Amino acid sequence: MYTLAEIHGFKGKYPRQLWHLAGSEMWERFCFYGMRGMLTVFMVTQLKLDDMKANLQYGAIQAFVYAFTFVGGVFADKVLGFRKSLFWGALLMIAGGLVIAVSPTEFFYIGTCFFIIGTGFFKPNISTMVGQLYPEGDPRRDAGFSLFYSAINLGALLGGILMIWVGKYHSWPLAFGLVSVVMTISLINFLFTRAHLGPIGLSPFGANVPNTRRRLYEGLVYIGSLVSIPFILKMVTNTRYTDLFMYIIGPATLVYLAWEMRRFTTKENMRIGAAMVFILFSIIFWAFFEQAGGSLSIFALKNLNHSLLGIPMDPNVVNNSSNSVFVIVFAPLVGLLWLWLAKRKLEPNSVVKFGLGFLLLAGAFYAFYATIFFADADGMTSLDIFTLGYFIITFGELSLSPIGLSLMTKLSPQSIQGLMMGMWFLASAYGQYVAGLLGAGMSTADPNASNYAKLVSYTSGYHQLAWYALGAGILLIAISPGVRKLMKGIH
Residue pLDDT tens, the chain, 491 long: 678 888 887 887 788 888 888 888 888 888 888 888 888 889 989 999 888 888 888 888 888 888 887 788 788 888 888 888 989 999 999 999 999 999 999 999 999 999 999 988 887 778 778 878 888 777 777 677 777 877 888 888 888 889 889 988 899 999 999 989 999 999 999 898 888 888 888 888 877 778 888 889 889 999 999 999 998 898 888 878 888 888 888 888 888 888 888 888 888 888 888 888 888 899 999 999 989 888 899 999 999 999 999 999 999 989 988 988 998 888 778 877 877 887 888 878 888 888 999 999 999 999 999 999 999 999 999 999 999 999 999 999 888 876 776 777 788 887 777 677 778 778 888 888 898 889 888 887 677 788 899 899 999 999 999 999 999 999 999 998 888 888 876 66
- The answer to whether residue 7 sits within a structural domain is no
Flag whether 256 is in a domain. yes
Note down the domain range covering 452. 13-487
Residue 348 lies in a domain: yes
Q: Is residue 293 part of a domain?
A: yes
Residue 1 lies in a domain: no
Paired with 308 in beta bridges are 311
Instruction: Tell me, yes or no, whether 76 lies in a domain.
Output: yes
HEC assignment per residue over 158-212: HHHHHHHHHHHHCCHHHHHHHHHHHHHHHHHHHHHHHHHHCCCCCCCCCCCCCHH
Domain count, the chain: 1
Is 3 within the bounds of a domain?
no
Q: Is the pTM of this model over 0.85?
A: no
Within-domain flag for 323: yes
Contact of 427 with 249, CB cutoff 8 Å: no
Q: Domain containing 365 — which CATH number?
A: 1.20.1250.20
Could you write out the DSSP letters of every residue in 96-135? HHHHHHH-HHHHHHHHHHHHHHHHHHHHHHHHHHHHHTS-
Q: Which long-range contacts (CB under 8 A, 24 or more apart) does 447-452 make?
A: 447/50, 450/379, 451/302, 451/303, 451/378, 451/379, 451/380, 452/375, 452/377, 452/378, 452/379
